[in-house]
Amino acid sequence: MKASQQLFALLQAPRHSFKRDLVTGLITNATRYGAKGQDRIYLNVGHTGLDSPGFQTWIDQNNVRPIYLVHDLIPISHPQFARANENIRHRNRMRTALLTGTGIIANSRSTLHELEQFAASEALELPATLVAWLGVDQLPGRSRGRPPTKPTFVTIGTIEGRKNHALLLNVWDRMVTRLHDAAPRLLIIGQRGWEAEKVFDRLDADATLNGHVFELGTCSDDELAQHLGSARALLFPSFAEGYGLPLVEALASGVPVIASDLPVFRELCGNIPTYLAPDDESAWEGMICDYANFDSGPRQTQLTRLKAYAAPSWAEHFRSVEQWLARLG
């Protein structure tokens, strides 16, 4: 795929215009740094094509200076959650980025740390690097509609193994068995992905969860703002993340978060969320039951901490990238 085709494909991607903002801003800033020959910068913001046999030849023939945005190394660090052979393909992508890159932008310090470890394991040198947090688009204002009749929790993201929806379904099974109609509701927002067939089966056929757990494959930004704004909290029990956009979006919207205790989440949000081990079902059940009470102590304490939260912005992201590109010469 030609670079222009790749960028066009990324510009068409959804997700609150996330990739559109990212690619457009990077193109605008990169064009300030050269026009011909080796002064031209090639920006790859999605790992696309880096494992293609002819990619390095294309780089050499076009005399461009590649800059790569690395989102995560999860297929390498957690291959059990990836598609078949994805760990091999991603290893090739990261090797290509290290071998050909003029520079690498990491979306978090956590991602850069994993890339450093990978480079060491492959006996490869790192090119120039930059950590630039991704910005967050402000979701529309909260709906003025009636709040849910029952306490509701929301989880956002593709339904795949590493997102750990299985833990939430186990927790809800236990709460429904114990509390019956008094159990809170769970809204799962996200498309079905991979390595989660048992979760799909339960969503389709588990009678205990019926009427308590709801699945929403897609929704508009307005609908997302409404669901998130009326939730007791966002639940984010992932085993691994390179960034964590739903977490940032929730906090930016003033919504509490209960999340796995991952280094990248603490990097992005400090001590604001309530952190739990991703495999401790009892702890998740207890905290969810607590947060179901609108005035619960832990929930109100997090809302107080939330007042000091400042979401990362696209303006700061591009300012950082632009200054870094200028220093590369």
Q: What is the CATH number of the domain that holds 282?
A: 3.40.50.2000
Q: What confidence score (pLDDT) does residue 138 get?
A: 79
Same-domain pairing of 128 and 254: no
Exposure of 188 by Cβ count < 10 A (0-12 exposed, 13-18 middle, 19+ buried)?
Answer: buried
Average pLDDT of the chain, as a whole number: 88
Q: What is the pLDDT of residue 88?
A: 97
Assess whether 202 and 323 both reside in one domain.
no
122/235 same-domain check: no
What pLDDT, on the 0 to 100 scale, is given for residue 38? Answer: 54
Residues 79 and 201 in one domain: no
Residue 322: give its domain's CATH number: 3.40.50
Residues 276 and 324 grouped into a single domain: no
123 & 165 share domain: no
* Assigned domain for 243 exists: yes
pLDDT (tens digit, 9 = 90+) per residue, 154-183? 999 999 999 999 999 999 999 999 999 999
Residue 99 is assigned to a structural domain of this protein: yes
pTM: 0.87
Residues 127 and 106 in one domain: yes
- Domain-embedded: residue 106: yes
CA distance 10 to 45: 8
Domain containing 200 equals 152-306
| Residues above pLDDT 90, as percent of the chain | 79
Residue 87 lies in a domain: yes
179 belongs to a structural domain: yes
Which of 5-9, 130-134, 303-307 shows the lowest mean pLDDT across its residues? 5-9
Secondary structure of residue 60 in the 3-state scheme: helix
Query: Domain check: are 205 and 302 in the same one?
Result: yes
| Beta-carbon contacts of residue 145 (< 8 Å; ≥ 6 apart) | 226
CA dihedral 317, 322, 328, 329 (to 10 degrees): 180
Q: What is the pLDDT of residues 232-271, one digit of tens each?
A: 999 999 999 999 999 999 999 999 999 999 999 999 999 9
Q: Are residues 121 and 101 in the same domain?
A: yes
**141 domain residue, yes or no:** no
- The Cα 45–Cα 72 span in angstroms is 12
Regarding whether 171 and 102 lie in a shared domain, the answer is no
Q: How many domains does the chain have?
A: 2
How far is Cα 326 from Cα 32, in angstroms, rounded to an integer? Answer: 9
Answer whether residue 220 is part of any domain: yes
pLDDT at residue number 40:
87
Would you state the pLDDT for residue 22?
A: 45
Shared-domain flag, residues 86 and 21: yes
The per-residue pLDDT for range 10-41, each reduced to its tens digit, is 333 334 444 444 444 444 344 444 444 456 89
pLDDT in tens, 96-118: 999 999 999 999 999 999 999 99
On whether residue 143 sits in a domain, the answer given is no
∠ Cα 257 308 224 (to 5°): 40
